[in-house]
Structure 1
Amino acid sequence: MFGEFLKRLVADKPAKLPDADARLALAALLVRIAKSDGDYAVVEKDQIENILSRRYNLLNVEAEDLRVAAEQLEKEAPDTVRFTRAIKEAVDLEDRTAIIESLWELALADGERDKEEDGLLRLVAPLLGINDVDSALARQRVEARLS
């Protein structure tokens, strides 16, 4: 279903993603983070939809449709390293910083720092070109909002 999209995304020199594709790529990365602990709960699905709705000014049904499409893309996407590096090449730094913040928001939504989610975020941040300090600052901004 997403064959052409994935080919473009993991090409040697991926082009900047159109907005709709960038949305889908972020949503798929959110799904991958949520599934990383082996428990893809309804609360995480709701949180993904909330993040997508806020970030892209979507109606609830649009955010749900995007999440469902992202679940399918996440199943078909290559390993996290290649998938994340492809997003890095195709998405501007400012947007990647916002992506890390969204990923932390999802990981911390249940009030706990799960080892698997935390470890995946520690892998994903540098692959997106975000250093540890900026990732930690993003996490702290999210923690401040959630408290």
Structure 2
Amino acid sequence: MLGSIKSFLKTRLQHVDGHADRAQALQVATAAILLEVSRADFEIDDQELDTIAAALRRTFALDEDAVRELIAEALEEDEANLSLYPFLQLVNDHCSPEEKFAIIADLWRVAYADGRLDKYEEYQIRRIADLLYVPHSEFIRAKLAVQDI
């Protein structure tokens, strides 16, 4: 599937035409963005992976097998070989401010999943929020909403 993700990105992320293509591309993009935060502290924790899986199931109504496969394949991808920018561009092009807020909230959930917030995780979320054009006030609102849970 690793090869299929790369192929998918090359052929479809640039030109997402149909609703099904867009939905699949957004699933891949969201998974990659969420995994980026889990990698930020150089430790991918099981609680973080569980939180990512829950976010993908909740957001995209995916079954357990689809989520597990998506996460496993995304984890195999070497971050040096795949830039986060095409994923962020796709989200910017096809997501509403409310959907972007939900992604930022999920990023905070991933960061807090292991019971502690690492400074690199917070930095990565801030960077992603900036690249998604999420205002600082919404960045903070998402953080506070997740902390209150």
Structure 2 length as normaliser, TM-score? 0.81
Matches within 5 A, 1:81-120: 81=85, 83-120=87-124
Change (3 A) 1:91 1:74: farther
| Aligned-residue identity in percent | 27
Residue deviations 1:4-38 (CA, integer Å, cap 9, x gap):
432343x4xx5476111101110111111101110
The 10-residue stretch of structure 1 (67-76 or 130-139) with the greater mean CA deviation from structure 2: 67-76
2: distance between equivalents of 1:74 and 1:25?
15
2: distance between equivalents of 1:107 and 1:74?
20
Unaligned runs of 5+ in 2: none
Given residue 93 of structure 2, which amino acid in structure 1 is its aligned partner?
Answer: E
Query: Is 1:65 matched with 2:69?
Result: yes
SS for the counterpart of 2:52 is helix
**1:18 pairs with 18, 22, 25, which one?**
22
Given residue 24 of structure 1, which amino acid in structure 2 is its aligned partner?
Answer: V
Query: Is 1:29 matched with 2:1?
Result: no
Offset, 1:74: 6.3
Q: What's the counterpart of residue 82 of structure 2?
A: 77
Change (3 A) 1:94 1:74: farther
Unaligned runs of 5+ in 1: none
Query: Is 1:3 matched with 2:12?
Result: no
Change (3 A) 1:26 1:73: farther
Q: What is the RMSD of the two structures over their aligned residues, measured on CA atoms?
A: 2.2
The number of equivalent residue pairs is: 141
Change (3 A) 1:28 1:131: same
